[in-house]
Chain A
Amino acid sequence: MIYNIPFIVVVLLIIVGLATVVFKRNLIKIVIGITIIESGVNLFLITLGYRENSVAPIYTFAPSTKMVLPVPQALTLTSIVIGVAVMALMLSFAIRIYQHYGTLDSRKIRRLRE
């Protein structure tokens, strides 16, 4: 049971993130929502690689027990790197939008519609 808690947290994080993206009207908060979803997905990947009673996958002085899977950690790392790029680009868009529209309210930022 205790090992299922991370999965519950994953689902909670993703739901919170989705709710933020759908219901918050501030562009910065939308970006934060995306980041929360990303954290949820990253936590999910990390949890997948976890094995009970095992050590970190480092060979330096490693005791001869089980190791957790290193592949999901590599995946998570890649995803974090991508996440940094995504967040930087989104925030710079938000800055630009604020310069042009004078607001961060997504209901007012709709010159493009229909």
Chain B
Amino acid sequence: MLHTPSGYWDPLLWILALIVAILIAYIIRGFGRKDYKGGEQSKPFLSGMDIPDEKELHIRAGNIYWGFMEGLEGYYDIMKKIHTGVVNDYVAWFLGVSALLFIVILIVGVT
């Protein structure tokens, strides 16, 4: 049992709760109709388009989260510009951060 500032965390208790929850879910599932299967609804639905052969269907990594990347395009453009891969720039970033820390600790942080 792990005591945190405002409570506690016990994984064993959590697993117990998980098992109980799964049991309850299984019981609720048991109320369902057994014959409610097959037909149109069990087929995959892809925006009304034709489904390619199910055995060969696999979304490539490059296409996952396409929308997210598209939405944050400006941010990712900046990031691409920063990550040049030139070793001189790495050193320049290091020196830049050191300079910033100099300013913060030596000038701003007066005790």
Contact = CB atoms under 8 A, between A and B. Distances in A.
A30 B95 CA distance: 15
Contacts of A113: 83-85
B88 A114 contact: no
B interface, over-half SS = helix
A97 B67 CA distance: 38
A40 to B, nearest CB: 15
A22 B86 contact: no
**What secondary structure prevails in chain A residues at the interface with B?**
loop
A110 interface: yes
Contacts of A3: none
Contacts of A24: 88
B83 A22 contact: no
B91 interface: yes
Interface in A33-61: none
B80 A21 contact: no
Interface in B52-107: 79-80, 83-88, 91-92, 95
B83 A106 contact: no
B84 A22 contact: no
Given A18-B91, A18-B95, A114-B85, 17 more contacts: A22-B88, A22-B95, A23-B88, A24-B88, A25-B88, A27-B87, A30-B88, A106-B87, A109-B87, A110-B84, A110-B86, A111-B85, A112-B85, A113-B83, A113-B84, A114-B80, A114-B83
23 contacts: A18-B91, A18-B95, A21-B88, A21-B91, A22-B88, A22-B91, A22-B92, A23-B88, A24-B88, A25-B88, A30-B88, A106-B87, A106-B88, A107-B86, A109-B87, A110-B84, A110-B85, A110-B86, A112-B85, A113-B84, A114-B79, A114-B80, A114-B83
Interface of B: 79-80, 83-88, 91-92, 95
Q: Which 5 A-B pairs have the closest CB atoms?
A: A113-B85, A110-B85, A114-B83, A21-B91, A106-B87
Interface of A: 18, 21-25, 27, 30, 106-107, 109-114
